Amino acid sequence: MSEAPWLTIIGMGEDGLDGLCGASRSALEAAEIVMGPKRHLSLIPEGKARRIPWPVPFSDGVERLMALRGQPTVVLVSGDPFWFGAGTTLARRLGRNEWHAYPGRSAFSLVAARMGWGLEATLCIGLHAAPLSRLKPQLAPGRQMIVLLRDGAALRDLAGYLAAQGIGASSLTVMESLGGPRERLTETTADTLPDIAFSHPVCAALRVAGDGAVLPLASGRPDDAFDSDGVMTKRPVRALTLSALAPRPFEHLWDIGGGSGTIGIEWLLSDPSLRATAIEPRGDRVALIRANADRLGADRLTIVHGTAPDALEDLPAPDVVFVGGGLSPQLLAYLETLPKGTRLVANAVTLESEALLTASHSRLGGELMRVEIAHSAPIGPKRGWRSSFPVTQWSHVL
């Protein structure tokens, strides 16, 4: 018979013991050690168990907990431990037979119950340690979302961010200490947030309103959504390129010759499970990529300052590679050594780069496509077509 787990993770609400099931209470009574934030520890009566306040930063508490391995221990966390909660972090460090969890009512469920919102139609997001720009791709009139925040100061930052995005008219219901005796709800808008102190734990129910710019859902976002020094894959070609890259859940992209970061950023905006690494030789463009990614909610983009293929040696293997700059025989030779099934897409504008792609296509196969785009432009009092440089694109699966 297997041994009982040494660790029990209990999700608590602001109502303390009143909100716990019988199994949770039994685990608390049997524990030799109880760890948790001071707020949670204050919600349970003194007992025989040794109490350890969870330290700051959070990672220090994880290491402290791991040192207790084998001793009957209870960890108190907020609400549902596995919905933007600490349970996920702890479970990754432990074997499946080492822990057991009793989830409490999540903050999202409590907020939905106060607002009368269907959770299936509401964006639920935790921003305890994530930047507010994570909201950017989701900001569209009519969108309703529940946002968990670190503290009252973060709430004020949220209101300022929304106003700066041109959606200060968004309704904001601030909720403090949900489910407990100190519960308080404040109905306001982002640009009229009252000058009062909001206490932790705090979250917000938000319904977006206003005329701020909305990021389209389809690939090929407007060029003016990105800052650029003039080097970027323009919108029509970018849409064709993302279509050729064909993002699939959990895939990792190498964006070689990142430029302004447009390809890597749009790749990440396709799905939250995707990863991307941009490789860029110029330091000023590295800073430009970082600024674009952070502002557009793609802060998880990894950026490598270096020249391919040398800068590729120690990177996590890609599922897909895009070459938008720095094309060379050495780079193509290196890419051919990547694992079978890796997808390659390369764009070329110069005759020299086009010749490299044509030779690779002749030798390895794949699809070779030439894209020529013209825009209307004035010709005296009338209009005509002004052509951009044609782009040659090679797509291939190793």
Q: Where in the chain is the domain with CATH 3.40.1010.10?
A: 7-104
Q: For the chain, give the percent of residues with pLDDT over 90.
A: 86
**Banded pLDDT at 231 (limits 50, 70, 90):** confident
3-state secondary structure of 364: helix
Q: In the chain, which ranges are continuous DSSP H helix?
A: 22-30, 38-41, 58-66, 86-92, 107-115, 152-164, 235-245, 262-269, 283-295, 329-335, 351-364
| Residue 164 pLDDT greater than 60, yes or no | yes
Q: Are strands 302-305 and 275-280 parallel, antiparallel or unpaired?
A: parallel
State pLDDT tens for residues 371-383. 999 999 999 999 9
CA 201 to chain CA mean position, Å: 22
CATH 3.30.950.10, the chain: domain bounds = 108-207
Stretch 113-128: mean pLDDT: 95
CA angle at residue 51 from 82 to 197, to 5 degrees?
65
pTM of the entire structure?
0.90
Strand-by-strand arrangement of the 73-78 sheet: 50-53, 33-36, 73-78, 7-12, 99-102
Mention the CATH class of domain 108-207. Answer: alpha beta
Answer whether residue 71 shows pLDDT above 60.
yes
Rounded percentage of the chain residues whose pLDDT exceeds 70: 99
Please give the CATH topology (third level) of the domain spanning 7-104.
Cobalt-precorrin-4 Transmethylase; domain 1 (3.40.1010)
The pLDDT of residue 125 is above 60: yes
> Which of the two residues, 200 and 290, has the higher pLDDT score?
290
Given this model, what pLDDT does residue 200 score? 86
Query: DSSP assignment, residue 263?
Result: H
Q: Are strands 7-12 and 50-53 parallel, antiparallel or unpaired?
A: unpaired
For 99-114, the pLDDT digits (tens) are 999 999 999 999 999 9
For residues 198-209, give the mean pLDDT.
94
Top pLDDT among 46 and 300 is at 300
Residue type present at position 164: A
Report, as an integer, the average pLDDT of 365-372: 95
Distances in whole angstroms, Cα of residue 296 to Cα of each of 212, 290, 291, 350, 376: 14, 10, 9, 30, 30
Q: Are 261 and 279 in contact (CB under 8 A)?
A: no
Q: Residue 1 has what pLDDT?
A: 35
Residues carrying CATH 3.40.50.150, the chain: 223-397
CATH of 223-397, one of 3.20.20.70, 3.40.50.300, 3.40.50.150, 3.20.20.480: 3.40.50.150
Indicate whether 394 pLDDT > 60. Answer: yes
Phi and psi angles of residue 83, each rounded to the nearest 5 degrees, phi first: -130, 95
What dihedral do alpha carbons 175, 91, 72, 66 form, nearest 10°? Answer: -100
pLDDT in tens, 234-254: 999 999 999 999 999 999 999
Confidence of residue 178 (pLDDT cuts 50, 70, 90): very high
- Span 293-303, mean pLDDT? 97
pLDDT digits (tens, 9 = 90+) for 183-197: 999 999 999 999 999
* Residue 4 confidence (pLDDT): 82
pLDDT of residue 264: 98
Greater model confidence, 322 or 19 = 322
Distance CA(376)–CA(372), nearest Å, equals 14
pLDDT at 142: 96
User: Is the per-residue pLDDT at 2 higher than 70?
Assistant: no
